[in-house]
Each structure stands twice: as structure tokens, then as C-alpha cells.
Structure 1
Amino acid sequence: MGKQAIKAENLVKHFGKGESLVEVIDGASFQVNKGELVALVAPSGAGKTTLLMMIGCVEEPTSGTIWLGDEKVYADKWLTKETRKIRREKIGFIFQAHYLIPFLNVIENVTLVPQTNGVSEKEAKKTAMELLEYFEIADKAHAMSSELSGGQNQRVAIARALANRPQIILADEPTAALDSKRSVDVVKMLKKIATDQDVAVIMVTHDEAMLPLCDRILTIEDRKVVSHPVPEKITMI
């Protein structure tokens, strides 16, 4: 297990103010290391996506501290104006819907972010083909997403998330639209990525069957984050 990839201390997120104040996360502290696949499990409305978006430098916390790798990125305010740059360079996002761009083919979808980051087209295509081979969909490189199955599209979305060589992957219900066999395939793939590429993966899931495939489980309890070993029976809501 590698060094810390994500560390949060006393993270707080409130929405609204006065009588309409809603406390979503209140004093959450946790760490995720490189090489770990961690499941984030909590009832609907408990703040899982909000927590993911704060770590991903999308949603601004109310207060607290966030480190990504060795870099402190938030301490009661963003420590850089370039949060978009941090997202592009350090983080890969995977969602329940694959969000592939329909008018681009598979390889064009995967090369888009690296080329936006200034990687040459040749280098971006080489990396994209390596990833598509890794996910056993290289033969679909020039297909459109409409020609692929749900599971194949999700694999392309994971390849796209990895194309900028992130240190962290944040996956929000990546298996929700898939059947149980394809769900297991995707989670095993995320585990393989975490191990092979020394990447930290946090996966929000409602699917209890996926938990034994993870290294650890984080839950949100009383607006704080609690770590549990695997497998442990956790009541899903």
C-alpha cells in the first residue's frame, strides 16, 4: 500500500444559511492511500456525491483541509486559483452514465483530455490504444459509443478517466446501470487499476455485492466519515 493520495481533516460542508442551513458533512477526517480501492457507502442524501466533489476540487468545502498527494489544495479556502488544472492533472472521474461524447469515436473520446492538457496527438493516441488494449476493447477504437454495449461504454469511460495518468480516481456509482456480472467486471477492473498503477480509487456504491472486492469501506455516519474493514455487514439504506 502506497503513500497518501487523499487526506481530509475536519472537512465541513454546509448549504444555505440562517434557518435554511443544512449541514451535510461536519468534521470529516479520513485518508486514502495509493493502491487502495475504497467503497463509499451511505444512505441517499447523506452527502456521498458532495464529499466526492469536494475531494475532486469541484465543490468548495465550508472549511477544513484537503491534501491530494503531498500537495495541500484546500485550507479553509482553495490554495490555488487553478482548481480546474488540478482536476485535469491529478483526478479521473467516472460516473454512473458514461458521458461519452456521441459525435466522437472511442479513441477520440479517450484522447480528448490529454490533448487539452497539451499532450501531442501522437502520444495521446499511443496511451489511448494501450488503455483500450488493457480493457480489451482496442478493436472498438474507431467505433462510435452508440455501437457499443453499456459495459463496453463504461470501460471506455474508465479508459478516458485514466488517460491523463491521474493519481486519484473518483467513481460515482459506476456500476449502477450495469447487470451484476458486468458490475463485478468493472469493480475488478478498478481494483486492478489501483494495484497495477498505484492509483487511489474511491467508488460510491449502493451494491452490497461489490464490497468484498474493495480494500476498505468508508461510511458517512452523523455527518462524519468512518472507516470499516471488508467484508463487514453494513446495513444499506
Structure 2
Amino acid sequence: MEKQAIKVENIVKHFGKDESLVRVIEGASFQVDKGELVALVAPSGAGKTTLLMMIGCVEEPTSGTVWLGDEKVYDNQWLTKETRKIRREKIGFIFQAHYLIPFLNVIENVTLIPQTNGVSEKEANKTAMELLEYFEIADKAHAMSSELSGGQNQRVAIARALANKPQIILADEPTAALDIERSVSVVKMLKKIAQEQNVAIIMVTHDGRLLPYCDRVLKIENRVVVSQETSSQEKIL
């Protein structure tokens, strides 16, 4: 169980009922280990974000089982009322838009979640500066997001996702607003984070050019999730 960061068994998700029933996912069973960067791909509307939000304890599955680390959090129902606490403590989220709070500066954005979790301001600031140095934007610590480029803002958003030292990062099309050069840079960064921080990362992407940088690809086909290795010939890193 030590390597396991995410384990999903027979996850099903339906919306509505009777004549208005929409079957989104009819079977998702897979495991993602610590240190892995896994891509999640599927056509638009096939349920990628829904699957990510179920793993992230935001959207409730219709049925199935979800483990985060060695904790079973869902078994045909939530096994805890503290799903918000699980999200704060175990999971970092990265989105297509950076969603930085515009009236807070960079370091205030990065320290917000740790301080909400009870980490002291001094400790939160120390961790934030280490992350900003890691992403080579420490000189922007007291800048506002409006003063940063799109790529810099996305790096701040990734630093914020790491600030609570999560076991899992869920990234929903984090490169969609970037050109291919910056997209590759972000994915390489995520790969490095997965390996160096021993974090499991699932990244939703539409861009097939980014798949060789990932360890594995999860595909949603006919409402079922299938896993596919990235071939060694494709590996770029």
C-alpha cells in the first residue's frame, strides 16, 4: 500500500434519472502510484473533469470505491463528512486558469491554504519561498498576479498546489492557455515534481504532443477507463 496514492475500483457516474439519465462513466478501475505523472485523455464531454473531481472528493460518484493513499474515502458513499479537510490536506488542484486571488500578492496566494490548515505564518512563508525559488520566481514574491505573465502565473498556481505538501495533484488542462513551448515546460516541471516530491499527478490534457512526457496514459473510451503505457520509443525524458 505504500506506493499507492490513488486507487479507484468500479467507479460509475450517472447524472439525472429515468428518461433524463445520462451515463458518463460506466467503469473506472486504476491505480496511480507516488512519483507517477499520468495523463488523462478523452474526447470533450467524455467525463475527464468529472472523473478528476470524483478523485478529488468534489463530485460524488454514483457507485464504486476510492482510496487516497491507504485511506478508503468512498465506498458507495462518502466514508467521512470531512471531504473538504481531505481536499485541503491531501490534494493540490491546478486548473486551466490560474485562479490566483487578485487582491493578494504571490506569496500570500501560496501561503493561504497552509495557513487555513493551521500552519504558522512563519512556516508557511518559509515553504512558499522555497517553492517560489524552485520555480525560479522568488523575485516575484511580492508582485500581484496582474504584473505577471501567463506562464509565471501558472507557476505560482503550481506552487500554491504544492504548498500544503499534498500526496496527490489533480491538474485539469493546466497547459490549455499556453503555447506548445510553455506547455512542455509546465509538463516537464510536473514530471520533476512527481519524481522529486514523490507526488502522484493526474493531468487532463487534449494535447497529444505532451503524452510522451508522462509515465502512463489513462483513456476514457466508451465510458470505461483504460490504462496505456507510454512506449519507450515515445519517451522524451
Question: TM-score, with normalisation over the residues of structure 2?
Answer: 0.96
After TM superposition, the structure 1 = structure 2 runs for residues 149-168 of structure 1, keeping only pairs within 5 Å, are: 149-168=149-168
Q: 1:141-183: per-residue Cα shift (whole Å, max 9, x none)? A: 0000000000000000000000000000000000000111111
Q: Give the match's secondary structure for 1:190.
A: helix
Aligned residue in 1 for 2:88:
88
Return 5+ residue gaps in structure 2 as ranges: none
Aligned residue in 1 for 2:208:
208
Letter in 2 for 1:8: V
**What is the CA–CA distance in structure 1 between the aligned matches of 2:129 and 2:113, rounded to whole Å?**
14
Q: 1:68-91: per-residue Cα shift (whole Å, max 9, x none)? A: 000000000000000000000000
Q: Give the match's secondary structure for 2:80.
A: coil
**What is the CA–CA distance in structure 2 between the aligned matches of 1:163 and 1:140, rounded to whole Å?**
16
How many residues are aligned here? 232
Aligned residue in 2 for 1:43:
43
After TM superposition, the structure 1 = structure 2 runs for residues 96-115 of structure 1, keeping only pairs within 5 Å, are: 96-115=96-115
Q: Does 1:146 align with 2:146?
A: yes
Letter in 1 for 2:159: A
Q: Does 1:186 align with 2:180?
A: no
Return 5+ residue gaps in structure 1 as ranges: none
Letter in 2 for 1:150: G
Q: Give the match's secondary structure for 2:89.
A: helix
After TM superposition, the structure 1 = structure 2 runs for residues 116-131 of structure 1, keeping only pairs within 5 Å, are: 116-131=116-131
Q: Does 1:224 align with 2:220?
A: no
Aligned residue in 2 for 1:195:
195
**What is the CA–CA distance in structure 1 between the aligned matches of 2:232 and 2:207, rounded to whole Å?**
14
Is the contact made by 1:40 and 1:204 (CA closer than 8 Å) also made in structure 2? yes
Structural RMSD (CA): 1.1
**Amino-acid identity (%):** 85
Letter in 2 for 1:125: N
CA shift for structure 1 position 231: 4.2
Q: Give the match's secondary structure for 1:160.
A: helix
Letter in 1 for 2:112: L
After TM superposition, the structure 1 = structure 2 runs for residues 2-41 of structure 1, keeping only pairs within 5 Å, are: 3-41=3-41
Q: Give the match's secondary structure for 1:176.
A: coil
Q: Give the match's secondary structure for 2:28.
A: strand
Q: Does 1:73 align with 2:73?
A: yes
**What is the CA–CA distance in structure 2 between the aligned matches of 1:119 and 1:52, rounded to whole Å?**
27
Letter in 2 for 1:23: R
